[in-house]
Amino acid sequence: MYDVLIIGSGPGGYVAAIRAGQCGLKVGVVEKNPLLGGCCLHVGCIPTKAMLHAADVYELFLHGAEQGIEAENVRVNWARILGRKNQIIQKHAKGLEGLFRKHKVETIHGYGKLLGKGRVEVKGPEGLREVEAKNVILATGSEARMLPGLDPDPERILTNIEILDLEQIPKSLGIIGAGAVGVEFASIYRRFGSEVTILEMLPRLVPVEDEDVSAELARQFRKQGIESRTGARVEQVEKRPECVEVEYQDADGRAQKLCVEKLLVAVGRKPNTDSIGLENTAIRADRGFVPVDPYMATAEPGVYAIGDIVAASPQLAHVASMEGLVAVGRLAGKPVRPVNYRRIPGCTYCEPQIGSVGLTEAQARKEGYPVKVGKFSFAANSKASILGSHGGFIKIVAEEKYGEILGAHIIGPQATELVCEMVTAIESEATVESMMSTIHAHPTLSEAMGDAFNAIYGLAING
Ligand code: NAD
């Protein structure tokens, strides 16, 4: 009998398992894949960032002459890029096995299904077995959603999985959806030479971000030669011998066609809850998503849910991890704070990167806050000049009277790292005033943060 059995070993499940081990609980993890790590490690966060890094390196070499570094005959070894990506995945999957050994976490290979009353069926390579646990944590993650009526085709109509291992860089790539998946793959393949066209149904790229960030990304993508068609409603996709043909209605309601060698469908992810035995419990999923209380407990006693399957929770690895810590702390009887969903960093690794936390300006105004905004462009930051990366800005959204920081929105160099300061600031309830008197080292990109806060009162020194 396990104290806790976790189904799924992604960033939700493995973090929960290690914490359960640290609490001295007897813990098992059911994993259907031979390797630990889930989508994030194998077909999500990690491989995409490895490919994005390769694109960064290639770009540096291509434009090295601007910085006095001249290289001839720079070329892409695609097989080596994919090989390095795979090595990174393997290394970290092995690392997880080591961590599991260290924390006495048992791995049970197979597909887990709830049978009710603390019993879980595991269908594994050696057949069926039943496992008992005092608590179960569901951490089964999600998979790419397809457009209705469209079948994926591993050769030409791709999801986040197939696009990671293409034999060659496609001449042209169409991308449906300008969320994180869409814009990250646009940034990978454009820089390796593909003609990239994005079709986004909503009026702007990265629609969950602040509107100024979307506008800046559209501008930068245009400069890079990425074609963004927003307000584009995809109606039909046909596989022709010469190309994949996408029929869509443009923003003016006119019928348009796009012909591409490969098509990536990046229109969101659906929770993996169809066949995990929810019907044997009191859990009533909402379009596949599992409702939970603030401590991740479901309607079924002793069953918790974390990560991409949770209703009204953003599908992000670091959210899954924190939800895992909350669930384990709760079931282990430790003091634990629920996740504050307004303090979650969003990091999108397109070029330029985006890092954001808290409310956008429009959301803050809609919530009725008296809003003050400070904005500072990287064009006036000396470290950005040194890096040769000037595009973008930092935008701070603050409450006018008490200087509460409501949100921070960064697009530009190292935005995914810079946003961490803002998460800490908001988490520790720093104010605009305390951030204005925080010393930022010189020369750094984070100096732009100090300038952005000062800009709220028209006091930015460098801009
Ligand atoms: P998403 O929901 O973030 O974006 C999908 C986009 O597709 C939306 O902008 C939507 O308007 C658009 N869309 C939907 N149907 C369409 C249609 N028929 N025609 C044109 N556009 C259409 O989904 P995603 O980008 O697939 O990502 C899935 C999840 O994974 C998200 O929660 C995302 O945040 C997460 N993710 C995060 C990262 C990161 O943090 N760096 C990276 C990848 C994915």
| 216 neighbors 246 (Cβ within 8 angstroms) | no
What element of type H or E holds 45? helix 45-62
Identity of the residue numbered 44: G
DSSP state of 208: T
CB of 264 sitting under 6 A from ligand 1? no
Token digits for 310? Answer: 């949770």
Atom of ligand 1 nearest to the CA of 45: 42
Q: Over its length of 463 residues, how does the chain's per-residue pLDDT go in tens digits?
A: 999 999 999 999 999 999 999 999 999 999 999 999 999 999 999 999 999 999 999 999 999 999 999 999 999 999 999 999 999 999 999 999 999 999 999 999 999 999 999 999 999 998 999 999 999 999 999 999 999 989 889 999 999 999 999 999 999 999 999 999 999 999 999 999 999 999 999 999 999 999 999 999 999 999 999 999 999 999 999 999 999 999 999 999 999 999 999 999 999 999 999 999 999 999 999 999 999 999 999 999 999 999 999 999 999 999 999 999 999 999 999 999 999 999 999 999 999 999 999 999 999 999 999 999 999 999 999 999 999 999 999 999 999 999 999 999 999 999 999 999 999 999 999 999 999 999 999 999 999 999 999 999 999 999 8
Count the neighbouring beta carbons within 10 Å of the beta carbon of residue 17.
Answer: 32
CB of 302 sitting under 6 A from ligand 1? no
pLDDT at 463 (0 to 100) = 85
Counting ligand 1 atoms within 8 A of each CB, the residue from 147, 181, 344, 351 with the most, and so the one to mutate, is 181
Counting ligand 1 atoms within 8 A of each CB, the residue from 160, 201, 204, 208 with the most, and so the one to mutate, is 201
CA 62, distance to chain mean position in Å, is 28
pLDDT at 152 (0 to 100) = 84
463/449 Cα distance (integer angstroms): 12
Half-sphere CA count of 258, side-chain side, radius 13 A: 28
449/374 Cα distance (integer angstroms): 10
What pTM did the predictor assign? Answer: 0.97
CB of 182 sitting under 6 A from ligand 1? yes
Count the neighbouring beta carbons within 10 Å of the beta carbon of residue 274.
Answer: 10
Interaxial angle between packed helices 317-331 and 13-22, expressed in degrees from 0 to 180 and rounded to the nearest 10: 30
Q: Which of 42, 53, 440, 442 is catalytic?
A: 442
| 49 neighbors 187 (Cβ within 8 angstroms) | no
DSSP state of 56: H
The angle subtended at Cα 313 by Cα 115 and Cα 103, nearest 5°, is 60
pLDDT at 449 (0 to 100) = 98
Atom of ligand 1 nearest to the CA of 232: 20
- Of 406, 418, 407, nearest in space to 450 by CA: 418
Beta strands (DSSP E) in 34-80 are none
CB of 347 sitting under 6 A from ligand 1? yes
Query: From ligand 1's centre to the CA of 177, what distance in Å?
Result: 6
DSSP state of 456: T
The answer to whether residue 103 is catalytic is no
CB of 147 sitting under 6 A from ligand 1? yes
Token digits for 199? Answer: 């079709």
CB of 353 sitting under 6 A from ligand 1? no
